[in-house]
Each structure stands twice: as structure tokens, then as C-alpha cells.
């Protein structure tokens, strides 16, 4: 009798398999599309954007590209302007960011822009 009951219990357990669906989403950039505006002539190598992303799997890599990417530096998730900002030379910058997670999945491209704030550089009249 014990063997029959145990067999029935095991049969019941194995026949009630549930399928498990893993919810997966690729990484998503949540830091927006606007960088940090800089005042002209305020110094080189200033931070202009910090990439923040979420996902089910740990973020592994950050990337920049686009129009002005060659004028910027990416260090981990921080983007900085290489040169001293000069409104008369270039008044705004645009670039693109993406991230990848530990599984190798890549986020959608996020366009980012920031501006250089003009200051009056004319010497005072004496």
C-alpha cells in the first residue's frame, strides 16, 4: 500500500510540471538625451554626461559614437569633453551612447546633446 501511495504522489508531482518563463529585457539607457551644458573657457576634460542604464543582467560595457564622439572621452560610464569649451568655435555637441550587458545584448541607441554657454569676452572699456 505504501508503494502505491508513494508512486501516486510522485506521479502527481511530476505530472504537474510548470513551465517557467524567464522575463528578459535588454539594457535600457535611463539617463536621458541631454548632457551637462558647459560655460565656455571653463577648462578641458569636464564631464558632460553620465550614462545610467538598467537591465536584468549586469551592465558590462559602455560605448559612444556619432557626430562629435571623436571630441569626447569615455571613461567607464562618464563622458567628458576633451578640449576647453569655446562657444565661438563650437556652440553645441551631439553624440550617441549604447550599453551592453554581461550577456552581450545591446541597448537601443540614445542620442545626446549639450551646449556651450557663451560669455561676454570683450574687455571692459577703461
pLDDT at 125: 72
Least confident residue range of 6-10, 21-25, 43-47, 49-53? 6-10
Per-residue pLDDT band at 116 (split at 50, 70, 90): very high
Prediction pTM value: 0.78
CATH superfamily of 28-117: Cadherins (2.60.40.60)
Greatest CA span in the chain, whole angstroms? Answer: 111
Query: Using one digit for the tens of pLDDT, what is the confidence trace for 55-75?
Result: 888 999 999 999 999 999 999
Residue carrying the nine cell digits 501516486: 8
The domain spans of the chain are 28-117
Is pLDDT at 13 greater than 90 in this prediction? no
Per-residue pLDDT band at 44 (split at 50, 70, 90): very high
Is pLDDT at 1 greater than 60 in this prediction? no
Q: Do the beta carbons of residue 44 and residue 81 sit within 8 Å?
A: yes
Amino acid at each position: 500500500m505504501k508503494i502505491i501511495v508513494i508512486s501516486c504522489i510522485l506521479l502527481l508531482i511530476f505530472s504537474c510540471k510548470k513551465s517557467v518563463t524567464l522575463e528578459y529585457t535588454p539594457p535600457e539607457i535611463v539617463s536621458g538625451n541631454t548632457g551637462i551644458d558647459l560655460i565656455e573657457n571653463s577648462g578641458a576634460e569636464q564631464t558632460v554626461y553620465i550614462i545610467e542604464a538598467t537591465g536584468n543582467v549586469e551592465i558590462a560595457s559602455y560605448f559612444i559614437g556619432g557626430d562629435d564622439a571623436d571630441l569626447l572621452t569615455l571613461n567607464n560610464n562618464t563622458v567628458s569633453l576633451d578640449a576647453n569649451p569655446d562657444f565661438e568655435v563650437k556652440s553645441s555637441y551631439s553624440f550617441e551612447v549604447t550599453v551592453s550587458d554581461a550577456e552581450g545584448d545591446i541597448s537601443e541607441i540614445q542620442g545626446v546633446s549639450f551646449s556651450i554657454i557663451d560669455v561676454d569676452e570683450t574687455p571692459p572699456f577703461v
